[in-house]
Every structure is written in structure tokens, then in C-alpha cells.
Structure 1
Amino acid sequence: MSESKRMDPFTGEKVEVDGVYENEAGQEEELHRGDAFPADLILGNTEWKLTEMSFDNHHEGRTDERLVPKEKDIDKQGKIDSPRRQMDRGKK
């Protein structure tokens, strides 16, 4: 199905992706996979839109220190500091 024909999840459907969802009234709620989309107290049944995905791998919300190139780092060869440094995969 194309993206233009895709429908947002509706109240009562199961949540497929962990994250923060916003309903038609603009209220945000954090939902987890397997939960059912709740009804709004005023609107009743409503559509929900994913606004932010939940990731458990970065607890502080920062990039791992080992992946950031240092100013005085001698071995910058192993670090990717620009898109041109990425290795080519396959044929061009």
C-alpha cells in the first residue's frame, strides 16, 4: 500500500511500535507494543499518529563516547567523521 493511502491507527487497534503517539486533539501519550490505542475523553474514538519512537539503547540520549572522534585521537582512520569516509559496498 502506498504512503498516501495509508491510514493512521484508530482507537482500539493494537500498538505495533513503542513510542509517543499524538491524537487528533494534540494530546500525547507514550504507548508500548501490544497496548490498545485508548479513546479520548472528549472526542471518543480518534486517530493516533506516531510522533517519537522509543529507544532503550541510549539511556541519557547521547551518542556512545567510543563512536565520537576525539581531537587528539591518533587513530582517526577507524572513525567515520564524514560521509565520504564510509566504505563502498557492492557495485556503483
Structure 2
Amino acid sequence: MKKLVKAIVLSIAALGVGYMAISLPFHLFTTLSDGMMEVIFIAELIIYAIVGALFLIVSERKKKEKIRTAERHTARREKIERVQREWYDLAA
């Protein structure tokens, strides 16, 4: 029941945001001059570029962190295996 309510609320919110995102440019076409529309278009492109760059930076950082974690786990596993081998050699 809780998931259903959450899905309904999320769907309504998505529809509202989508409607506003679609209707805003049409409203701006009738109220702004050509020069202002060009400024808004350029600003929008800059915002998209910044968001895209941030996404790429975050994804690259996550990849590097995953690689570092894997290397750390491999080094720790190798150290544990080496210590166990040395312990067996001392015990024998």
C-alpha cells in the first residue's frame, strides 16, 4: 500500500514538473524579445554543459574509487595469504 501511494505521488509530481517544463518555453516565446530568448537559450546550453561535466566528473571519481578499493582488497588478501603461509612455515 505504501509503495502504491509513493508511486502515485511520484507520478503526479513528474506530470506536474513535465507540464511546467514544456509550457514554460511556449510562455516565454510570447513574452520575451528575440534578444532575451537568445540569452536564455545560451544560458540553458551553459547549464546543460555544466551539469554534463559534473556528471562525468562524478562518474570518473566513482570509477577511480572502485579501482582503488579493489586494489586495496587485493593487497589485503595477498597480505593475509602471505602471513598464513609464513605462519605455517614457522609451525612446521
Question: TM-score, normalising length from structure 1?
Answer: 0.25
* Higher normalized contact order (CA 8 Å, seq sep 6+, divided by chain length): 1
Q: Rg: which structure is higher?
A: 2
Question: TM-score, normalising length from structure 2?
Answer: 0.25
Bigger helix share: 2
Bigger strand share: 1
